[in-house]
Structure 1
Amino acid sequence: MSDGQIPDADFEEVLRYLKESRGFDFTGYKRTSLMRRVRHRMAQVGIDNDIDYIDHLQVNAEEFNALFNTILINVTAFFRDTEAWDYLREDVVPTLLAERGPDDPVRVWSAGCASGEEAYSLAMVLAEALGPERFRQRVKIYATDVDDEALTHARHALYTERELQGVPADLVAKYFDHQNGRYAFRKDLRRSVIFGRNDLVQDAPISRIDLLVCRNTLMYFTQETQAKILSRFHFALVPRGVLFLGKAEMLLSHTRIFDPIDLKRRVFRKVANGSGGPVHFVTQALVQDRRFDVGGLDQLREHAFSAGPVAQVVVTGDDVLALANQQAETMFGLGAKDIGRPLRDLDLSYRPVELRGYLEQCRAERRAVRIKEVEWTRPPGESLWFEVHLNPLIAADNTILGVSIVFHDVTATRRLLEDLEYANRQLESAYEELQSTNEELETTNEELQSTVEELETTNEELQSTNEELETMNEELQSTNDELQNINDTLRDRTQELDQVNEFLESILTSLRAGVAVLDVGMRVIAWNRGAEELWGLRRDEAEGEHLLNLDIGLPVAELRPVVRQALADASFMSEVKVNAVNRKGREIVARVVCSSLRSNSGQPNGAILVMEQNG
């Protein structure tokens, strides 16, 4: 701790408990801001003593999430600090791409990505520079944070209109899809952004990075912790890799491991021969003194691996089969001839499960991957179930040596569970049948009792009904007279309506131009003879269909924007000309006039399309 504050033993005990119980190491954070946030959370739950707060954490598991959300304040936005992002877009990224071949991969790390705005900002900058297709082929953006809740939000890639205020309108239209009042980042580009949990203090850095963005995150750490993190960043970057910091941060390390590209905008380049001192990314276990000299360790390890009780193989970093124990050889038909062969040439690569994608995930994320519920049917029709574990084998210099693949045979457990589920289903079925029989008997008894009561009630009702019928006869006579008058009126109105409909039908029929009337849902409610003759689609085939589903020579998709405007604006009218094919198969230029169909209240109630051949 180097922020000039006298250590508080009780507060340090809180930090030690968080590290031991949940794996969060906050000892490298600046104590002033850290204590202020923890004290704020303690005040919210009514506790003023550090030791009492540890007791509160022990009995309330939900309190950890509330405390972490208080400590890990995620303040971020799209293109935050516009001037710096403009410099990155206009100067840094073009230079970075020019220094690489046209097919070289581009690896980017957004450290402390919070809810993802920074990572997707990087994606838009690179997609604009490369084009979406080349972006998908070349770019991988690794976005990391210690806040699991923020990472979940980032993976969904859904943002409100307010959260997108910093994004230019043209980029919003190009890279986001509007969904139920929110905006989703494009799925095809989203696949190039990989989110994962990474603690900058404890976890190993991602390697071979071309551009590393860590903005306004280092300022929360002590100077010693900042130096340690910067040393890891230096290791992560390729030669001449670029580091992009926030405007609230500076490089204060005494060792020259980064050169400034633009100090004002906090952009630095890795010094190829710079050294920040030794960097250790894996916790080293204590080595105990051996009292005896154990000989033949290599042979012992080989036999121990071969005699393992579960099937296990090891592949190298280049996906070459390096090791296979006896269980794996027996189960998957492997032999000495298969050692040294590429995994893709072996049936094991796809049977019992397609392994290549999981291997790539294991190496990229540098963490164990577990595949559950893997079923394998082998001759003569025997089904086996596995749970497959993939574990990366990482060397001391943080390179990937290979991946260990273990196939746990859970067939017996699976069958026991299935037998237990079957027995439970039979027991439940028998119980349900017994309960159903009992309920039916009770119901029959109640129905008989009810029938007797209903018969008695029916007699009384019949007497009452006779009296009511006499009264109703008198009322019906009076009602008949009124209905007769109403029928006469309705008949007159119907005749008038028929005349109006015939008049409208004659108008539509007499028009030489094609006319289509659409409702607010863009479905056809009227289709005149001119439209039939122009496009060859009968009225009964067109009415009721959505405009965009009409299979005619008119490119209806090009009319969608003007139709939508007509449905939104009651005063709208527009004329467009489009290339089309008439019912005779001839190419024509169609003139289409689109206007809004207004209701009596003046609101848009649909749209009218008038279509005719131009010239």
Structure 2
Amino acid sequence: MVDKTSGDSVDVGFEAVLLYLKEARGFDFTGYKRTSLSRRVRRRMSQVGIDDYAEYIDFLQVNADEFAALFNVLLINVTSFLRDPEAWQHLRDEVLPKLLDEVGPDGPIRVWSAGCASGQEAYSLAILLTEALGVDAFRQRVKIYATDVDEEALAQARQAGYGEREVEGVPPELLERYFEHHATRYVFRQDLRRSVIFGRNDLVQDAPISRIHLLVCRNTLMYFNAETQGKILARLHFALLPHGVLFLGKAEMLLSYDNLFTPVDLKRRLFRKVSSPAVAPGALFAHPVHADRRPEPNTTDELREHAFSAAPVAQVVINSDDQVSLINQQAEAMFGLGPRDVGRPLRDLELSYRPVELRAQVERVKLERRTLRLRDIEWQRGPNDTVWLDVHLNPLTNERDLLGVSVVFHDVSAARRLLDELEHANRRLESAYEELQSTNEELETTNEELQSTVEELETTNEELQSTNEELETMNEELQSTNDELQTINDRLSERSVELDDLNNFLESILTSLRSGVIVVDPEMRVIVWNRGSEELWGLRRDEADGQHLLNLDIGLPLAELRPLVRSALVDADPMRETTLAAVNRKGRTVSVRVVASPLKGRDGATEGAILVLEENRS
């Protein structure tokens, strides 16, 4: 059905699919270009044999794994190391030296790779900055924030392992210097990987990361419509520090956004942030707030921002719409907050009810428009970490209106501990005085007790004689028990031999099968790789054992195999099969028949999947 009430034709069924994805999984595709997005959804529907959008929504509701397959189609994660080498070389030779001079020799450097996919772009930035600064300075000064909406791509990026084809763009000397070669994978250096922080961020919905020197967002904007591109660029402008650099893909121009960015090198898509009038806190993430006075110079805004961020006490500012507008560094560290929490409603944060119920107090301050102080709030931050806080809530107003509420958390744990220790010392003094009084009485009775102790020792000696006889009896019983345990141990040894024979028998069966047999656990890690698989793909069993199936560098198109394996792991259907074009260990193109079935335990639960691969010789 098509709705033609507006100038553009809107497929109501397709829009229903997008709305369901937003409500069920939090993915908002409404800002993406409809033509390409609709084409990808239809392609996925044809792969599962469905023509109707409503029927496909029902299919998503009963097949949780279908979301992952659909997102893999919608989120095109095309990336590579140092993609467009000429642009990266210009960034290295011309842009980075000037940027590092502006930051200074000791200043921190913050970089954001937006839409990082499987991480090649973020690690390319790490290589360039390490080459410019040296390893020690890079580890001390640089933070690279790499974000994407695709959790599966982020998981692959965190592993930092890539095949030979994926690292083809890395010069040999850099490949040797920054990657460790493990079997068929190249893994980025772990000591440098700690400076690359991966996380989920939706450029359309989530708040941007702030105070960024270099922002790389290549070939991402082109998937959005013009209106959404404008919103994203406003957020990227907010994220950059004054004179920060934006690095786009070669398909993205910014010709109509000269009020936000000015070209550094238009050919290579490098832009600098244009200083703009001050933006009210939260304006990019909530409803716009228009200032009545003239904006102050950018240096004053930057100074005010850094002063608030570096304040010695934790502080959070809530606007009049109950959304978080500002968070300083102390609040981020104390409550585990981050830049993405700016712009979120207070009710969505754990801070709204822990360490104290804030929402009711904020409403009270807004209603009464006077300062409220909450004393001695006890907060159990960890198993052995109790913190005491004084919470100050102050209304922020101008001459007429309430702008918001400032919430300041003063850590009074040290003072509280001192008071507790003083009270405890007083109690100990009173107790000590009473103990001295009773000590005199106890000393008088001690002499009499010593007399009776001698008599008790004599009695004890007789009891020890009796105990010795009992111990000898127990020794004999223990000897008998030891004999029984030896008998049990002999039986267990016989059982172990039987199990070894059974394992050898199963190994002989797998070895004798000419077909390739692969068994994976629920995490898709290989637990069985028989000789037939070795002969077919040229990968030894010790190289495959424990590896993620989709990370193996074999001639089988693993991306097409993924839905078949996941179906075997999740669905009740006992067996599924497909035929795939592949390249065997001899480099020949062959047709391989793949049969996947669930690996069932004794209780009937699925414990993995069994794949049987056989080369079609017809």
Task: Look at both structures and tell me which one has the larger radius of gyration over its CA atoms.
Answer: 1
Q: TM-score, normalised on structure 2? A: 0.48
